[in-house]
């Protein structure tokens, strides 16, 4: 008779210890960056994931405050937005519509924030861009082996990751199941490539424009970026410096830093 096994899932649709392979497989198959291993004892399995590691990445974050959770080494907030002024419902964005993305990364006493704008981009494009930029920054700092929580309000981006859409698209030659083309394909390819080098990332949804301070911060940050965008005035172009959004207008720089101070992210 085969000995009983304990399957530890450190990164998957659900994390924790499972006692059957079919149940384990449903958590890791098609999940980008899945980490799992079988053990002979429950203790070894729990040690592998850490006893506090049992978390469902598809669950709703209950609007936790901005302080980084002790369960994670880093907490990342991302957001994207666009202003489709005067557009008729169902129409594409106009070439002069403002759009922007932003991220906030909490790592112990370190706080990193960044944002940039683009004209004529959709909200969904900016949502993906925000996560791509955040992950690229983390990779550049060699944080891709850390335990990371990413908090987003975009189910468009989350579903592509947590429901295995990215993996399915890639297997079909980057096509949908019905053969249709994928919107924002280049960005999704970048996202997939970045996720492949991270070993322990959990994704959590939070309601936008609610009580989550981290989400509200990045929403405010990208809106300040759009406020300072002017398609006819190059001096308002968006730059970044020291991982804090910098615009040519020094007043906007101070307002961003004031926001960081108000929620305790900058002294």
- Over the stretch 223-232, which tens digit does the pLDDT of each residue have? 999 999 987 6
Percent of the residues in the chain that have a pLDDT greater than 90, as a whole number: 44
Contacts of 108 (CB under 8 A, 6+ apart): 68, 73
Per-residue pLDDT, 267: 53
- Over the stretch 31-45, which tens digit does the pLDDT of each residue have? 766 788 888 888 788
Q: What average pLDDT score do residues 175-190 get?
A: 93
Q: Is the pLDDT of residue 252 over 60?
A: no
Instruction: Specify whether the CB–CB gap between 58 and 193 falls below 8 A.
Output: no
What 3-state class would DSSP assign to 201? strand
251 pLDDT tier (thresholds 50, 70, 90)? very low
State the span(s) of the chain assigned CATH 3.30.420.10: 74-85+93-237+255-263
Mean pLDDT, the chain, rounded, equals 78
Per-residue pLDDT, 35: 84
Q: What average pLDDT score do residues 240-266 get?
A: 46
- Over the stretch 5-27, which tens digit does the pLDDT of each residue have? 888 888 777 788 888 888 888 87
Per-residue pLDDT, 108: 87
Is this structure's pTM higher than 0.85? no
State the span(s) of the chain assigned CATH 3.40.970.10: 6-49
Q: What average pLDDT score do residues 50-62 get?
A: 38
Level-2 CATH architecture, domain 6-49: 3-Layer(aba) Sandwich (3.40)
Level-2 CATH architecture, domain 74-85+93-237+255-263: 2-Layer Sandwich (3.30)
CB atoms within 10 A of CB 209: 9
Higher-confidence position of 8 and 156: 156
Q: How far apart are CA 55 and CA 135, in angstroms?
A: 21
Contacts of 99 (CB under 8 A, 6+ apart): 80, 81, 82, 83, 93, 117, 118, 119, 120, 121, 122, 123, 125, 126, 226
In the chain, the largest separation of any two C-alpha atoms, in whole Å, equals 75
238 pLDDT tier (thresholds 50, 70, 90)? very low
């Amino acid at each position: 008779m085969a000995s009983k096994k304990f399957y530890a899932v450190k990164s998957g649709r659900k994390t924790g210890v499972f006692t059957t392979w079919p149940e384990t497989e449903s958590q890791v198959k098609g999940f980008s960056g899945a980490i799992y291993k079988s053990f002979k004892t429950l203790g070894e399995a729990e040690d592998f994931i850490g006893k506090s590691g049992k978390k469902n990445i598809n669950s709703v974050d209950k609007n936790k405050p901005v302080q980084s959770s002790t369960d994670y080494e880093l907490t990342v907030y991302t957001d994207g937005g666009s202003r489709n002024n005067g557009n008729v419902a169902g129409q594409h964005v106009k070439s002069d519509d403002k759009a922007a993305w932003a991220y906030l990364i909490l790592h112990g006493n370190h706080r990193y924030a960044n944002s940039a704008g683009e004209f004529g981009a959709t909200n969904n494009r900016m949502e993906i861009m925000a996560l791509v930029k955040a992950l690229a920054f983390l990779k550049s700092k060699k944080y891709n082996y850390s335990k990371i929580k990413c908090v987003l309000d975009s189910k468009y981006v989350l579903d592509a990751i947590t429901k295995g859409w990215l993996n399915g698209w890639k297997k079909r030659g980057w096509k949908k199941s019905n053969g249709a083309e994928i919107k924002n394909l280049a960005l999704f390819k970048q996202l997939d490539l970045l996720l492949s080098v991270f070993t322990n990332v959990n994704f959590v949804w939070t309601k936008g424009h609610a009580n989550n301070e981290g989400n509200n911060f990045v929403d405010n940050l990208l809106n300040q970026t759009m406020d300072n965008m002017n398609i006819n005035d190059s001096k308002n172009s968006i730059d970044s410096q020291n991982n804090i959004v910098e615009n040519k207008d020094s007043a906007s720089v101070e307002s961003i830093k004031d926001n960081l101070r108000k929620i305790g992210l900058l002294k």
